[in-house]
Chain A
Amino acid sequence: MSTTSKSRAFPTHIVVFLAPAVIVYTLFMIYPLIDSLRLSFFATGPDNKEYFVGLQNYVKLFTDSNYAPRFWGALKNNIVFFLVHMLVQNPIGLLLAALLASGGWGRKFYRTVLFMPTVLSFVIIGFIWNLILSPLWGVAESILKAVGLGALFRPWLGLESTALVTISLISVWQFVGIPMILFYAALIGIPEELIEAARVDGATGWQVFWRIKFPLILPTVGIVGILTFVGNFNAFDLIYTIKGALAGPNFSTDIMGTLFYRTFFGQQLQLGNPTMGATVAAMMFLIILSGVLIYMFLWQRRVQTVEM
């Protein structure tokens, strides 16, 4: 950082440069976040005024028979949603990245095609898969029949037991490009000499990958992990598009994002409740914040010591 200004009076030009960003960011991002946290400690009385109620909203969310089953259900589903991404999306992303990074014919083409679904909106993706998997159209069924697995077909999106995993896999299908491209960038950044040296010593491709390349891209593994975590616990659009705010069948695809939307805006018979909505948002905030803190203080520090 270079210093040119004497720091006696605060220079005007610095204020001018910073002010627009700081004002918009503070007013439309930081203030709503803090005010929303504040609202989670309030409740609306019969006179339509808001009163401080301490932790009552949270107690209600965790124990009240109207809220608790939905909250714990959404939390559990969200964890499943996240685990599917960690166990399916990120390993596939790593595999594709490793194949792309190994060079060879057509890699540019593959790279472009594989990343394509990521740029489409959830709404489009949701509807496309809704149609493809629909028993009415029968595309998925015909494909399974063509390979002799027709008997396996089920209306996966409609069954309580399979809907959540199916939606998670649709999301994986859409976002596999992100871990892929991040891993790919990290892999092609590894100095060629390191790999050549190992090869000369007789290491196989498999050994080179797991003993040399993988430890070197550990920082990226952490970034991919935390991006997946934040993205998943903030997800909403895909489930809303495929299943609506009720996240059916029987709330089996309900995650924190859809619960937040329903609690805030209401649904069918239940009226919307802004302060309870803020409480759900505050829980999402806490979950995401703890993920970020774990990443920053545990993962990053460990990776740094390993590197030393």
Chain B
Amino acid sequence: MTTVSRSLTYGKDFGLLYRLRLLLGGLIPHLILAGYSLLAVFPVVMILMNSFKTRKAIFGEPFAFPNPSNFDLIGYQTVLSRSNFTQNFVNSIVVTGVSLLFILLFGSMAAFALSEYNFRGNTLMALYLSIGIMIPIRLGTVSLLRLMVKLGLVNTLTGLILVYIAQGLPLTIFILSQFMRQVPKELKDAARIDGASEYRIYTMVLPLVRPALGAIGIFTMIPIWNDLWFPLVIAPSAKTATITLGVQQFLGQFVSDWNAVLSSLSLAMVPILILYVLFSQQMIRSITAGALK
């Protein structure tokens, strides 16, 4: 793109200097991008690579790839036998999955009401529901913990899920109501004439905003999966610890067992990395398409 427009502007200037400039102009961005990419992946690769090596090789030749002479799975064995890894993993999936489901359900219902009906106090309600976009729920922790104690929800996954639903709703409602406003009015009115109930119309609109639901889903999921604060405060017990908290505690105990530390980091990273590789294009496209502006 740039090269074409430049050669147009510079016209017939095909001198050596120009060609050199062109070459450098194309090369320097690549060098910067490649250099920074290396910085972004290098630490992650170091951990993954060394998690498969013997303790001696981890320290003796940290930059070497795993090979038959230094290969060792002792770290993974320690993690799987000494930690609640599976339990933590299941907890994280339950907490993230259920929260996400309710964020999308409740969020889309509220967004539908706000975008579809011109009732009294609509603007005020929209404003009220968007306070949480900027003010972090974490600041209410002292009272939130008391509330959880009162409701008997300390050390339960339900407690965590309720907090994450409340945390995820504001942005979801804000974005979804913008999308729902773009659904053609004729479509809904035609259904109304055919005698469809307002609930039926909601279920009609929902599939039409599916791309937005997907994007919001991914973006609400990541902070929930990665959160350390609320698992630490509300559900720190061994039975309810999420993977993020579980890994944090495991690493604290096994800090000097490098094989175990590297393996548990790798195990915690891999699911997210796989998901990221699968969905990264959609995720980035959804932002660049203005889905989250």
Contacts and interface: CB of A to CB of B under 8 A. Distances in A.
Nearest to B62: A139
Interface residues of B, number: 103
B262 to A, nearest CB: 8
Nearest to A103: B1
A87 B143 CA distance: 35
B18 interface: no
B147 A28 contact: yes
Contacts of B284: 111-112, 115, 181
Interface string B268-290: 11001100110011001001101
Interface in B137-172: 137-144, 146-147, 162-163, 165-167, 169-170
Interface string B15-51: 0000000000110011011101101110110110000
Interface string B71-107: 0000000000000000000000000000000100111
Interface string A89-126: 00010011001101111101011111111011111100
Contact of B33 (A16, A100, A264): A100
Given A32-B141, A35-B140, A288-B136, A17 B119 contact: no
Interface SS of chain A: helix
B1 A185 contact: no
A49 interface: no
Interface string A284-296: 1100110010000
B192 interface: yes
Nearest to B125: A18
Output the residue of A11, A124, A173, A285 with the most chain B CB within 10 A: A124
Contacts of B137: 28-29, 32-33
B26 A33 contact: no
A1 B136 contact: no
B2 A102 contact: yes
B293 interface: yes
Contacts of B44: 116-117, 120, 128
A277 B142 contact: yes
B198 interface: yes
28 contacts: A7-B119, A7-B120, A13-B199, A18-B113, A22-B110, A29-B167, A32-B142, A33-B140, A34-B140, A36-B144, A95-B32, A96-B32, A105-B30, A113-B40, A121-B272, A123-B251, A124-B269, A127-B261, A128-B44, A132-B46, A138-B62, A142-B62, A182-B287, A230-B136, A260-B141, A278-B143, A281-B139, A281-B141
5 closest residue pairs by CB, A with B: A32-B140, A121-B226, A17-B113, A28-B166, A21-B110
